Structure 1
Amino acid sequence: MEIKQKVRQFIESNLIVFEEEVVFADDDHIFQMGFVNSLFAMQLLTYLEQEFEITIGNEDMDIANFSTVNSIVHLIDKHSRVV
Structure 2
Amino acid sequence: MDTPNGTEAADAASVTEELRAYLSGALGREPGPDEDYFALGLVTSLFAIELVNFVEQRYGIEVTVDDLDLDHFRTLGRLREFVLAKAAGRGAAA
TM-score over 0.5 for the alignment? yes
Q: Superposition pairs for residues 1-83 of structure 1, below 5 Å?
A: 2-15=14-27, 22-82=29-89
**Runs of at least 4 residues off by over 6 Å:** none
Higher relative contact order (CA 8 A, sep 6+): 1
| Aligned-pair CA distance for 1:24 | 3.3
Letter in 2 for 1:6: E
Please list every run of 5 or more consecutive structure 1 residues that lacks an aligned counterpart in the other structure: none
Letter in 2 for 1:67: R
Residues 5, 23 of structure 1: CA spacing in aligned structure 2 closer, same or farther, 3 A cutoff?
closer
Please list every run of 5 or more consecutive structure 2 residues that lacks an aligned counterpart in the other structure: 1-12
1:21-66 residue CA offsets vs partner (Å, 9 max, x unmatched) = x353101101111211111000000000000010111111011000
Letter in 2 for 1:3: V
Aligned length: 78
Are the aligned partners of 2:73 and 2:79 in contact in 1 as well (CA < 8 Å)?
A: yes
TM-score normalized by the length of structure 2: 0.75
Over aligned residues, Cα RMSD in angstroms?
1.7
SS of the aligned residue for 1:32 comes to coil
Structure showing greater Rg: 2
Letter in 2 for 1:7: L
* Structure with greater proportional helix content: 2
| Aligned-pair CA distance for 1:79 | 0.7
